[in-house]
A and B are shown apart, each in its own frame.
Chain A
């Protein structure tokens, strides 16, 4: 059995077929939902008549993005147990959302976060700033989705990176333009179940396949070795580091010398020329790539041992990621929009509870692919394609038709992930743009969707070098530093003022996105400054809260009128029939 490196084994047909099927099905479900989309209101929030179970699956479907499907496994494979905090944070974010935001937000009856800001603070200014932040977070979050699409199509069908980006970009624009949110609700819940089975079934089969001794090695901390004869093609020049004397077969160039045949590399660093291939026998050690941490030892198997950027401060990294993901979830515009489709505050809570169960179940699986990949397909370390481990592993482990079919299944799941998350994001971005800049009609919504989709595709072509999970983590950090303080203070603190909200949004959101942008552009100072820039949430979130509160306290004269009534609407149970709560809510139980 030879490791499948890229396409060319005749298996891409299955993967492509699966991708086409999922895409077609998502569009068909969307078009079916189109029959219900008649007015702007139903277009945007599905008329608030979505029952909790369906809504929870839709929220989960929208939430589980390329980062969850592909990125987590890649990070675990590369950096080890420390990356397990990401999915924990992604899930725990819903607990925080449930505790502080879900029911009050639904009761205030706003369509979007910009509506919430305007309704709570009576300020068109806060509304405009919020809209800008929605577009900012939405775009940051859209890029990794499109990037994941590029990676996936490249892995299953051998197409260039840009092709996947453009194809998924086009599909989501069409989906959103024909259906709006209503259709997206149906698509999203459908896509959630595809994603869960596409990651769960292969993971369980792979683990069952390995039972016994091999399973015990899954957690071994020794350096990864090849488990089967493997040929690694390196398409670009690669600097490798050999820890001890290692035998290797070479066809190509090493340090500029043409080599063909087996040789022994002494300890040291070597440059392998582009187009060379290295072959290894079972049991031979995997050379590490210079600049990447070794996937072994305590650094890999410790939950606080992140050996990457800011490596001197793994504990800071963990807490900053936790803070960003805990508090960022509530600030994701496409997720918040979905809470308005609950019937009332009670349903909003129940929906959130179901979401916790659904995504918690999903997150059991992706990290397993990371550990399996380290053991069974370590060639990905050399090729720098750990991002595709979820897609490639079934074929490597099973081979034959079983491997092809499972490979096709995960490809379908990955595609479901991009389609669902990016559709939801595009609805939010287009909603914000059309609601505030254009004339609030369905036609403008479609125009905005087309515009935003095109811009995102353009930017998506530029972010190929970044791990998609890291990109998503940054979107969370910006959300946690802007909308989280706005929501939490807006819901629980009567003294919030429009100037305070604007100051907090600009300070937190602005500084967090500046730090992220600097890191993306390659500004990476060592030591603490580097750690603080790469994971800004730990400082930008407290800063945003402090700014919002301080400026509010200094501008108490502009506390909006009727703040008590507004707060009552958000917190009073539906039973009391407080005026201002959504009129459509069903008669409360036991109130006849």
Chain B
């Protein structure tokens, strides 16, 4: 999740509305600022530092939040892939599984026609709980600052 962030000054809060234009935008604002009158320059400098501060915070926030959420999603995805994604290979490798029956129902039917569904639901529920927990932890962290 690295990104080319060099010149990307950005508004992230409700109050921010000044946005630079792509790479080199910060420099251009600086140039404009130095050309302006003293009082205006001071005001602009304050605005700029506020903006940069917001951007830096936004970057840090985003990076940690993205990383946490993506890690969680990928963990559940890996769990899911190892449970279901490997199943076709298992059936091919162990052909005798096809003939195995539990309570009269062939194992492949039991697995694909019935058991898959509760497992999918449980995985999803686990994810929803953990994702909301991650968001709450993150919000706590931000509000503490």
Contact = CB atoms under 8 A, between A and B. Distances in A.
Interface of A: 81, 84-85, 88, 91-92, 94-96, 98-100, 103, 215-216, 219, 298, 301-304, 315, 318-319, 322, 346, 349-350, 352-353, 356-357, 360-361, 363-364, 367-368, 492-495, 556-557, 559, 561-565, 567-568, 571-573, 575-579
Contacts of B76: 95, 99
Given A301-B98, A571-B65, 8 more contacts: A92-B80, A302-B108, A303-B91, A303-B111, A494-B3, A563-B3, A564-B55, A578-B13
Contact of A564 (B21, B62, B132): B62
A81 B108 contact: yes
27 contacts: A81-B108, A81-B109, A88-B84, A88-B116, A95-B80, A95-B123, A99-B76, A99-B77, A219-B106, A219-B109, A301-B98, A302-B91, A303-B91, A318-B88, A352-B124, A353-B125, A368-B113, A559-B8, A561-B20, A561-B21, A564-B59, A565-B10, A568-B62, A571-B69, A572-B61, A575-B136, A576-B139
Interface string B105-118: 11011011110111
Contacts of A559: 3-4, 8, 22
A559 B59 CA distance: 15
Nearest to B58: A564
Interface of B: 1, 3-5, 8, 10-14, 16, 19-23, 55, 58-59, 61-62, 65-66, 69-70, 73, 76-77, 80, 84-85, 87-89, 91-92, 95, 98, 101, 104-106, 108-109, 111-114, 116-118, 120-121, 123-125, 127-128, 131-132, 135-136, 138-139, 142-143
A562 B10 contact: yes
Given A216-B104, A350-B128, A304 B92 contact: yes
A93 to B, nearest CB: 10
Contact of A91 (B1, B13, B120, B139): B120
Contacts of B142: 576
Nearest to A559: B4
A573 B19 contact: no
- Closest A-B pairs by Cβ, 8 of them: A360-B117, A573-B135, A84-B112, A494-B3, A579-B14, A303-B108, A99-B73, A575-B139
B113 A572 contact: no
Contacts of B132: 346, 349
A367 B62 contact: no
A557 B98 contact: no
Contact of A103 (B66, B106, B131): B131
Nearest to B142: A576
Contact of A84 (B13, B104, B113, B124): B113
